[in-house]
Structure 1
Amino acid sequence: MSDKPLKLVLCWHMHQPEYRDTSSGEFKLPWTYLHVIKDYVDMVAHLEAVPTAKAVVNFAPILLEQIEDYSNQVSAFLQDRIGIKDPLLAALVDPSISADPEKRLKLVHDCRKASRERQINRYPMFRKLTEMAEWIQSHQDAINYVNSQFITDILVWYHLAWMGETVKLTDTRVQRLIEKGSGFSLHDRIEILEIIRDLLSKVLYRYKSLARKGRIELSVTPYAHPIMPLMLDLNSALDATPQALMPVLEAYPGGEQRVQWHLAKGVETFKHFFGFEPQGCWPSEGGISAATLKTLSDFGFKWAASGGNVLHNSLQASGFNDVGSLHHPFKLASTDIACFFRDDGLSDLIGFEYSKWHADDAVADLIQHLENISDLTEPGSVVSIIMDGENAWEYFPDNGYHFLTALYQRLADHPLIELTTFSACLESKVPIKPLSQLVAGSWVYGSFSTWIGDADKNCGWDMLGDVKKAFDRVVSEGRISEYQQAVAEQQLAICEGSDWFWWFGDYNPGEAVSDFERQYRLNLTNLYRLLGEEPPAYLALAFTQGSGAPVMGGAMRRGNEI
């Protein structure tokens, strides 16, 4: 056992895809603002509460832009009554609830999109309204006899349930509304929007302030969250899964230039919000390959990170025993970038198991695992726990409040564990091991099977290849202006995001697949129109559907297959 504390990096990755219809500016799905008021504010509040705690917080640039847009829209509505381009948020403050039966049914349906156990059943009145909503969904003619107060109350409760626990504990306005319980007025609804405005307008500054004080490290992801190895070489998918079914598309046209664009645009956007250049990059989905690490190294990043199974596959391919190797950064030959690897076991315990435990027991169990690692590893070891910063907490009691409170405090106080950051590890000269070979993969199973290799996912890639070829042709022929090209390039970036491919496939829930599949086709259609091209007829038809019931709704996956 080392006499030096075990270094532990908690890395929280915050990301949402582009939910706007760029042709109209309308948000088609509300997840960005809902995760702000629930998760992003809670996560920064927990860090603020423990001055000795440290963590890495990674933001996808396209998420930062959407947060800014929501903040501006909500402020414009409250100041000048300019309409909000999010149907759910707009309905919250609409003076007259729509009488249209279809619109009412959609609102009733959308206000049920929350954890039944943790968000809905926690509040008896919200549970009662939800049970009524379920009955209405199965007897849709009844919507004609539902009064506006029912719609108002379920809208208010939905937003109250999505408020972060730290907000509920400190904001007297939220407490008063929860206590009121029913019969909410327009004044109450506008008050909720004022709360949302306050949260939206301050959340990014709070992270920036902690970074300035050296209490967290902020890092970045390529602009619209593309899978860089696949853009650089589609066949890198075969490294970890040699028998995978591949798209008709043999290579993504101009992939290297597109990766460079996403990195440059990502850093530019990050600097706009935080005022400095990031030292590290969490590659989208932890997706790396030798070419990707070389690109990140050439771009000037000091560190990247990926999944533990990527390291396992790489060491195995190199003929090395990987026992004890996980808790070290590695450097691939011909690059100057250190790559850290996720401890999948510990990360998955937080993501999938500890929500079922008492918070104190869960934190004690995690610390016991860390103490065991400390006993078995050499000095300079680094444990990397890397997770989405938003998706796990709705499955914990009280949005993970008790778990995260105990986690930060007990880790910060532990004599044998040092909470730190990836950049701080490099500054302290932790040993970096050489890596002679890299098997391309992601944090999910160490492969790219979540994004390619399935018939529906491959169809998505072929559609993307089609529109990229159209883009290249129109640009090369000089058929659009420089400004139009810049707008089209931005739209292309949205189409290249990883999230669309994540959801394609029948093992995912039907509604989520439909939402993302529809948005993907809309994104492609908008790009064709920006190029002055007629969208292909196939974009009018759904090409994938879901019927699965994966754990936690499919928004999270384990690092290891089970």
Structure 2
Amino acid sequence: MTGNPLFICILWHMHQPFYKDPFNNYYRLPWVRLHGCKDYLDMLEILLEFPDIKQVFNFTPSLLEQLIDYTENHAKDQYLEITLKKADELTIEEKVFILENFFLANWDNMIKPFPRYFDLLKKRGFHVIKKDLPRISNYFTKDDYLDLQVLFNLCWIDPLFRNKDSFLKELSEKGRGYSEEEKSLLIEKQFSIIRNIIPGYSSAVKKEQIEISVSPFYHPILPLLCDTDSAKIALPDIKLPRKRFSHPEDAINQVKTGVEYFEKIFGYRPIGMWPSEGSVSEEVLKIISNEGIRWIATDEDILAISLGRQIRDSLRNVTDPELLYKPYQFNNVSIIFRDHIISDLIGFIYSKWDSKHAADDLINKLLHIRNSLPGNKPYLVSIILDGENAWEYYKNDGHDFLRYFYSALSSEKRLKTITPSEYIKNFDAGEPLKKLHAGSWIYANYAVWIGHEEDNTAWDYLTEAREELELFQKMNPDKDLSKAWKAIYIAEGSDWNWWYGDEHTTETQKDFDELFRFNLMKVYQEIGKEIPSHLYIPVLREDRSILPSITIRGFIEPKIDGIVTSYYEWYQAAKLDIKKAGGSMHKSESMLSTMYYGFNKDKLFIRLDPSFPFDEMPDDTRITIYILGKTNIKSVIPLKKDLMGEIFSKKGDDWLKIKDIKDYSIKDIFEFSISFEDLNSKIGDELRLFVLLSRNSEELERCPWRGYISITVPSPDFEAMMWY
């Protein structure tokens, strides 16, 4: 490509679920407030250092509503209330809450930079049993708790503001021995930062350096609101909810009210939209178009399926860049399709790299794309990702990477940033698409939000509550039901089903489950109906099978030596990502990172990869492998090298020892094998397994976090059958 620069559209998506408890108006979780101090205003202020760089910021109305609630309505969350309480007046329950929750931050990049904070983490223990926290709390002094109250909130203030504000800089340098007055002023600083977010972005729009786009109000999957049957377009065999949900009028409402709320806050109507989770369908495009939206964005896989063309080869290289790097149109709405690989590099990979090296690599990749394109017309690369959650995994909250990247972009004349509206106006609104595939930016389908038993249960509960509300409204047309309808629209948000099913897990999963059910309970309360008993029961199930990210592909014969002898020895095994949590919920560090399991015709094999070396774990830690079938077996294996592993069999209510075992090794990794004969299992039997790490009979960690892994004892011709 010669002549034209390659145009780059960078879109940062800013969103938080609606955390408010509908019954007490308290925010269940603090992430709107804490991300508000760390991840919104700094992104803008860093960008403003580079006036030649243009970008798009997408704000969900539900996030804006919560930010305003904090700054104008004095909204509270439990974390804030416990922070503001004087340290010498804390109850034992509040002290336990602090020890459990005030280390919810990235340990390496947010806690370790404060030596006192990291010392307090070590004092509490990296991996503690919840039952022990009341006892542990007695070892913490009033000054310890006061420092914890300050440091938790201080580490969630962006380093840009900690360095720029003299009080925050002094507080950071002080490091310990804080006063109640300093704590109160720190919280005032938090709210000052949050108050500047919306005015700051409004000002940048007037300077024409940024464009702000919007999402549907409470972040629903619009195509599923229109019709849950649309999930079958991408996945014909998907199991759908018992009740079909088909309310395009709700999709219209979520888009319409989202646009109207945006206009109320910023003073103009947006013309760009990021549909929640990049979820699109032909019906949804009509709805979006009718609200005056002129462009949207989604994922490249949607384009590939819509065109019926391969965009990448088996090595994920773009095979036809002229197809991907331009806008298209459907129903008079321009659509840009994000480069999935480049977006994910920023979101998940570059955080592990040296910042300068990562920025240089990104620039080189963009120049490579430019060189692969003809020079006869302009082209557009779209980089679109979460603008909040990646940065805590970067050193210095990603500032070094962003500054290197923006600086290189500013000086590289072959690359030029642009907003979608500017590109569409000046160059190309896009050629028409004959069809638009119904899917999201995750695997071009909706499987994250529908199809699993938990997802489908949630949809059925939503459908039932909505039916009751609609019937009541018809019978009582003059009654104000706005609170009930708001609860329905909140419950339609995608965030609840994000945490149902197998794909994602987090320590605060139960909070999400309760918030979903509480909003449906609110509907019944508002219409004076008895709350159904099932809404008092968690949708989350403990007794369920967990699917691995990679399934068993053939027999394995690993050497049980505690080291990765060869890449291929576990290649055919199933893989379960223990630490997988969607990258967004600030969970504390897991002791284990990955689990592999597989078999040959005679034996079952299990491998556990630690997050940190096994020899750094307490000596009295034990690994217990439960394998449940016709006979329930558990293998108890101590980390202490001079103790022997043992196998037990369940007899009635008792576990009876069968024998000592030697078929395991604990070094770099944990490797274990057991014969199907010892498991009293034959071909075709189902085995359910899970692993516990414990100390003194108290659970430290469970893998999987809930449920179990299901395997079927193979026949000798299992591998031959895998070819068919």
TM-score category by the smaller chain? over 0.9
Matched position secondary structure for 1:439: coil
CA distance in 2, matches of 1:5, 1:136: 52
CA distance in 2, matches of 1:179, 1:319: 51
Match of 2:55 in 1: 55
- Letter of the aligned partner of 2:300 in structure 1? G
The verdict on how the C-alpha distance between 1:57 and 1:30 changes in structure 2, with shifts beyond 3 A counting, is same
CA distance in 2, matches of 1:527, 1:2: 60
The verdict on how the C-alpha distance between 1:114 and 1:556 changes in structure 2, with shifts beyond 3 A counting, is closer
| Aligned pairs for 1:23-42 within 5 A | 23-42=23-42
1:103 positional shift? 2.1
Matched position secondary structure for 2:335: strand
CA distance in 2, matches of 1:514, 1:188: 34
Q: Say yes or no: does 1:123 pair with 2:114.
A: yes
Matched position secondary structure for 1:20: coil
Higher RCO structure, 1 or 2 (CA under 8 Å, sep 6+) = 1
CA distance in 1, matches of 2:518, 2:505: 20
1:383 positional shift? 0.5
- Letter of the aligned partner of 1:107 in structure 2? I
- Letter of the aligned partner of 1:531 in structure 2? I
Q: Is the 8 A contact 1:10 1:419 kept in 2?
A: yes
Which range is displaced more, 263-272 or 509-518?
509-518
1:7 positional shift? 0.8
- Letter of the aligned partner of 1:304 in structure 2? I
Question: Which ranges in structure 1 are unaligned for 5 or more consecutive residues?
Answer: 75-83, 558-562
Q: Say yes or no: does 1:102 pair with 2:93.
A: yes
Match of 1:80 in 2: none
| Aligned pairs for 1:246-265 within 5 A | 246-252=240-246, 255-265=247-257
The verdict on how the C-alpha distance between 1:510 and 1:46 changes in structure 2, with shifts beyond 3 A counting, is closer
CA distance in 2, matches of 1:480, 1:111: 47
CA distance in 1, matches of 2:369, 2:150: 47
CA distance in 2, matches of 1:530, 1:302: 38
Q: Say yes or no: does 1:170 pair with 2:161.
A: no
1:5 positional shift? 0.6
| Aligned pairs for 1:377-416 within 5 A | 377-378=373-374, 379-416=377-414
Matched position secondary structure for 1:108: helix
Match of 2:349 in 1: 353
| Aligned pairs for 1:471-486 within 5 A | 471-478=469-476, 481=479, 484-486=480-482
Q: Say yes or no: does 1:273 pair with 2:270.
A: no
Q: Is the 8 A contact 1:10 1:56 kept in 2?
A: yes
1:23 positional shift? 2.5
Q: Say yes or no: does 1:236 pair with 2:245.
A: no
Deviations 1:342-390 (A, max 9, x none): 1100000001110011111111111111111111124221111001110
Match of 2:594 in 1: none
Q: Is the 8 A contact 1:504 1:545 kept in 2?
A: no
Q: Is the 8 A contact 1:509 1:549 kept in 2?
A: no
CA distance in 1, matches of 2:33, 2:208: 27
Match of 2:700 in 1: none
- Letter of the aligned partner of 2:85 in structure 1? D
Matched position secondary structure for 2:270: coil
Deviations 1:520-558 (A, max 9, x none): 11121122212222211111111215888555632369x
Q: Is the 8 A contact 2:391 2:398 kept in 1?
A: yes
Q: Is the 8 A contact 1:318 1:436 kept in 2?
A: no
1:145 positional shift? 4.9
CA distance in 2, matches of 1:15, 1:176: 31
Match of 1:78 in 2: none
1:133 positional shift? 2.5
Matched position secondary structure for 1:69: helix
Q: Is the 8 A contact 1:61 1:270 kept in 2?
A: yes
CA distance in 2, matches of 1:319, 1:49: 36
The verdict on how the C-alpha distance between 1:319 and 1:270 changes in structure 2, with shifts beyond 3 A counting, is closer
CA distance in 2, matches of 1:56, 1:135: 39
Match of 1:444 in 2: 442
- Letter of the aligned partner of 2:207 in structure 1? K
The structure that is strand-richer by fraction is 2
Of 251, 259, 277, 1:285 maps to 277
Of 207, 216, 220, 2:210 maps to 216
Larger gyration radius, structure 1 or structure 2: 2
The verdict on how the C-alpha distance between 1:136 and 1:52 changes in structure 2, with shifts beyond 3 A counting, is closer
| Aligned pairs for 1:504-515 within 5 A | 504-515=500-511
Match of 1:77 in 2: none
1:142 positional shift? 3.0
The structure that is helix-richer by fraction is 1
CA distance in 1, matches of 2:65, 2:34: 15
The verdict on how the C-alpha distance between 1:189 and 1:480 changes in structure 2, with shifts beyond 3 A counting, is farther
Q: Is the 8 A contact 1:223 1:263 kept in 2?
A: yes
Which range is displaced more, 220-229 or 319-328?
319-328
CA distance in 1, matches of 2:168, 2:9: 34
Matched position secondary structure for 1:542: coil
Of 69, 77, 80, 1:86 maps to 77
TM-score by length of structure 2 reads 0.72
Match of 1:338 in 2: 334
CA distance in 2, matches of 1:473, 1:133: 53
Of 369, 375, 381, 1:373 maps to 369
Q: Is the 8 A contact 2:6 2:379 kept in 1?
A: yes
- Letter of the aligned partner of 1:235 in structure 2? D
CA RMSD after TM alignment: 2.2
Of 473, 481, 487, 2:483 maps to 487
Q: Is the 8 A contact 1:136 1:143 kept in 2?
A: no
Deviations 1:455-476 (A, max 9, x none): 1111111111111111111111
Of 550, 553, 562, 2:581 maps to 553
Q: Is the 8 A contact 1:46 1:408 kept in 2?
A: no
- Letter of the aligned partner of 1:272 in structure 2? K
Q: Is the 8 A contact 1:306 1:342 kept in 2?
A: yes
1:479 positional shift? 6.7
Deviations 1:419-445 (A, max 9, x none): 010100111122612211121011111
CA distance in 1, matches of 2:427, 2:350: 33
CA distance in 1, matches of 2:88, 2:477: 46
Deviations 1:498-519 (A, max 9, x none): 1011111244335232221121
- Letter of the aligned partner of 1:435 in structure 2? L
Which range is displaced more, 517-526 or 547-556?
547-556
CA distance in 2, matches of 1:39, 1:97: 32
Q: Which runs of 4+ in 1 moved over 4 A?
A: 317-322, 545-552
Match of 1:418 in 2: 416
Match of 1:540 in 2: 536
The verdict on how the C-alpha distance between 1:556 and 1:440 changes in structure 2, with shifts beyond 3 A counting, is farther
CA distance in 1, matches of 2:222, 2:6: 32
Match of 1:560 in 2: none
Which range is displaced more, 364-373 or 84-93?
84-93
Match of 2:496 in 1: 500
The verdict on how the C-alpha distance between 1:307 and 1:57 changes in structure 2, with shifts beyond 3 A counting, is same
Identity %: 32
CA distance in 1, matches of 2:577, 2:239: 24
CA distance in 2, matches of 1:132, 1:549: 29
